[in-house]
Structure 1
């Protein structure tokens, strides 16, 4: 049952709250979030699709571009909790529009970055609004559809991210080869503007959290259950960063696939992630715990297979698809569990889930940059990620908050 407010606050100027947002339909509210998620997915995941063109265009190396992916993820890790705690009292509509505006500005800055050093700095700031934007969107979406359907809400918003994996990443890789990586980020900017426009048109006025001060907001970050959940997501999701960030050189340089074939394989990986988002959303609404266990065991199995067949040509493709399915299944349960663990502030929990997911990207992509820089090849990061996923398997069975 929807809990969205039926009307705007009295006296709100129309330019701040258009008539379409006074009593918006939940589907229209979610549509803006999906487009915003698609733009964020293009910005973050698309970086792996344009990595070789950036290497050529900025006269640098694959591992150095890998660090730009890490700095983006660090921006998410830092920005999600700080912004959600610091801006807890903000109206949710205002918060969403502000974060979307920052996303558009930093996308333009990314497109214009003159050197890899400047790109490192810009990508950190580009990551800052990520968690606060999607975390707030998850909370408002939960109000729109009802708390009992929070798994479907998370999955719906994640469809934007998975659509980026299916269409956006291969599309950016293709466009990068055709016209350059800067043109690809011009598309990211356009999508960000579209998401901002939809949210301005349809997201209603929703009050922020009644704040008891910064220290009171920080109290929501206490407890073994919460930090076990964050640790589990971080080590369990690291495999995505370790694999996806270097997927293009893995396919082209290690396995000898053509550029056109790589585009198709990237789409298939995205299809796997979309299937995982759909299945994970359905399963999470039935049992968060069971979904977490099925998801992370599947992730570990897929990484083990990928490590064995990583340089064997076509067997890599089904292994990548399976990883996409299970990593997204695990992601849905992880986000729902964090919202439950921070029950006094579910929007903070949703934002923290993106912080944890990107901490995983920092670990996986950073680890990959190190071993690739050492000359160990593009398969080596998979084995490190497998070790981390084994830790996550143990945590979802015996960790605080996961035992029942």
Structure 2
């Protein structure tokens, strides 16, 4: 029996609410990094704020590594199971993991909780996208996927700045409990309004993992990791950058996050439109804009105008990479589509972990809070190089195929010419 329009809209809203919660739990640590460092690493904080902030960045890396591990594992193992039950299981882990993050006493235990919380991240987005596509019906798949991802982008515009402000006023642990409440609300909403759907009965772990035998899949993953590595090198330390280098009051940090979130939302929209016309062309343009934005931030981030303009541009150019990489993965993954939908988030969070770590290394070395922008700029070069390799590999088989067609046509014409001479 078809769902009513109201039930369909409520189901899509419930799925998007999960994306909103994931955006909160993934990104709120960036705005509250000094608060986390001061509370969980008091001895190191008293010794050096920079060293404490750099080590607190491990919490962001731990979450990113959890996404990297969980996305392909859950997607490969669980593709056959009913989708609603999988969504509820993912949300249950988010609720419990976020509560644990808020209540555990030590840096090491919170670090472990962040890793566990992240495990269902990619699987949730992959499964929710499939459910949304089926709810929207034929010809509206893209809109359904966009609705799910809209929760993530809205989180960066509204949710993360709001939760950052709450954490600054009431403490970071209260902020995380509010995020856990968002996940609990999503759990109830999905349970009540999302219809039951069977999984992919033909899916096997072997079939899904076959994607990893394709070189183009690995190239797409590496391109995404390097691109978002540059973004997270900057975004992880945007709070201390704004206060310690630009000289803004801590109350203005949420507005810096709003600028980044607006850039990400707009960039995601234009990146998707660009990918419809030319995936690789979009990647090259976005990497160029990304490099310009990072250099601009590194050179002008000590001024409020430079900070706001180039944080917006860094967020926009980085986010524009995401739909192009997602589309590229789906194109080159063959019949491993469930895995392709999930491992895009693995690629982005490899970049998250890599960027947070490298940015922390340069800060701990005494190079300052603008140094991560130069780290991001350096990561652009191999990203562009790998994109060029991917294009060259794609053109190779196409050129050989064209040569074979020409040769075949030549052989067909040759007998006719011989007959004419006779």
Common fold: TM-score over 0.5: yes
Contact 2:91 2:183 in 1 (8 A): yes
Identify which range, 40-49 or 22-31, moves more after superposition: 22-31
Match of 2:375 in 1: 384
Aligned equivalent of 1:18? none
- What's 2:160 paired with? 169
Tell me which residue corresponds to 1:35. 17
**1:340, 1:346 within 8 Å by CA — same for their partners in 2?**
no
Which residue of structure 1 aligns with residue 264 of structure 2?
A: 273
Larger deviation: 329-338 or 224-233? 329-338
Moved more, 323-332 or 241-250: 323-332
SS of corresponding position for 2:199: coil
Aligned mates of 2:14, 2:276 — CA distance in 1: 23
Per mean C-alpha deviation after superposition, the further-off stretch among 325-334 and 145-154 is 145-154
> What secondary structure sits across from 1:336 in the alignment?
helix
CA distance in structure 2 between the aligned counterparts of 1:23 and 1:207, rounded to whole angstroms:
21
Per the alignment, residue 417 of structure 2 pairs with none
1:205-256, Cα deviation, whole Å (9 max, x unpaired): 2222235643333223220111111111011111221011100000001111
Is the contact made by 2:79 and 2:204 (CA closer than 8 Å) also made in structure 1?
Answer: no
Rounded Cα–Cα distance in structure 1 between residues aligned with 2:300 and 2:131: 43
* Alignment partner, residue 3 of structure 1: none
Secondary structure of the equivalent of 1:314? helix
* Structure 2 CA distance for aligned equivalents of residues 179 and 385 of structure 1: 33
Q: Give the direction of change, closer, same or farther, for the CA distance of 1:391–1:188 in structure 2 (3 Å limit).
A: same
Equivalent residue for 2:49?
A: none
- Larger helix percent: 2
Q: Describe the SS at the equivalent of 1:125.
A: helix
Are the counterparts in 2 of residues 165 and 269 from structure 1 also a CA contact under 8 Å? yes
Q: Give the match's secondary structure for 1:376.
A: coil
Higher-Rg member (1/2): 2
Confirm or deny: 8 A CA contact 1:367 1:381 kept in the other structure: yes
Shift of 1:264: 1.5
- Unaligned runs of at least 5 residues, structure 2: 45-51, 399-422
The reply to whether residue 215 of structure 1 matches residue 197 of structure 2 is no
Match of 1:142 in 2: 133
Equivalent-residue separation in structure 1 for 2:228 and 2:180 (angstroms): 27
Q: Work out which of the residue numbers 50, 73, 81 in structure 1 matches 2:32.
A: 50
RMSD: 2.2
Check whether the contact 2:99–2:176 (CA below 8 A) recurs between aligned residues: yes
1:226 maps to which of 207, 214, 217: 217
Q: Aligned partners of 1:402 and 1:175: how far apart in 2?
A: 49
Deviation at 1:25, TM superposition (A): 5.0
Does structure 2 retain, via aligned residues, the 8 Å contact 1:340–1:349? no
Deviation at 1:139, TM superposition (A): 2.2
1:304-357 residue CA offsets vs partner (Å, 9 max, x unmatched)? 211222334421210111111111111111112212222413221110000110
Name which of structure 1's ranges 218-227 and 288-297 shifts more when overlaid on structure 2: 288-297
Taking structure 2 as the reference length, the TM-score comes to 0.85
Alpha-carbon distance, 1:123 to partner = 0.6
Change (3 A) 1:25 1:86: same
- For residue 48 of structure 2, what is the aligned residue in structure 1? none
| Paired positions, count | 386
